Amino acid sequence: MTIRIALVDDQELVRLGFRMVLEAEPDVEVVGEAGDGAAGAALAARGDVDVVLMDVRMPGVDGIAATERITAAATHPKVLVLTTFDLDEYAYAALRAGASGFLLKDARPAELVAAIRAVHAGDAALAPTVTRRMLDHFATSAPVETDASALEVLTPREREFLVAIAEGLTNDELARRFVLSESTVKTHVGRLLRKLDARDRVQLVILAYDLGLVGR
């Protein structure tokens, strides 16, 4: 299956660099480019895009607003946020707006491609160097009011899993903590996504903080 990509960045040279990297992959195709958020949202609405690589800081409509426009649609492509700065609060806002991943622009080509494949498959992609900072950001920011009744559908074990995910544990680390196989861990994570109607792992992290399951 070919993953169709849209590049949204106000710097043409940056888009060119990403295009060169991605076109070297047999299962990835760049189907469009845009130089600002408004054009990027229009591009995503065409229906032939699977993943949008979205710059955050752009003139006019920025990446946050564009991400909100894209994810507001009933059916929409995944959005992978790209930023130059690992402490860019705009990128955190984009995650709340519906982006499925957060990656630095200086990521290695293999990391970029792996992130694209991850979000296309319905998982989340968070740059290893910024995952902890992202969690710290949510831990110190004001919570978003969330209906606590969402927790009523979870078993005590599932709550433990949700907290562990919010702490930033990978599937391998979850398997070691709960003494389970990775396949069983994936089953638990998938069940959490379904029960909480969460789009991906990023949203599970945000939800756990907003519900007060992880200390602020």
Residue bearing tokens 């507001």: 72
Q: How far apart are CA 149 and CA 212, in angstroms?
A: 12
Domains of the chain with bracketed CATH: 3-138 (3.40.50.2300), 142-210 (1.10.10.10)
* Tokens describing residue 195: 């029960």
Overall average pLDDT of the 146-165 stretch: 84
> What confidence category does residue 54 fall into, taking pLDDT thresholds of 50, 70 and 90?
very high
The tens digit of pLDDT for each residue in 103-121 reads 888 889 998 998 899 889 8
The tens digit of pLDDT for each residue in 56-106 reads 989 899 999 999 999 998 889 999 998 876 556 676 787 788 888 888 888
* Tokens describing residue 30: 């760049």
Which runs of consecutive H residues, i.e. helices, occur in the chain?
A: 12-22, 37-44, 63-71, 89-97, 109-120, 128-140, 156-166, 171-178, 182-195, 201-210
pLDDT higher than 70, residue 175: yes
What pLDDT score does 162 carry? Answer: 92
Residue bearing tokens 């909480």: 196
> pTM surpassing 0.95?
no
Overall average pLDDT of the 7-36 stretch: 95
Q: How far apart are CA 117 and CA 40, in angstroms?
A: 20
> 202-213: buried (b, 16+ CB within 10 Å) or exposed (e) per residue?
bbbbbbbbbbeb
* Tokens describing residue 212: 């007060």
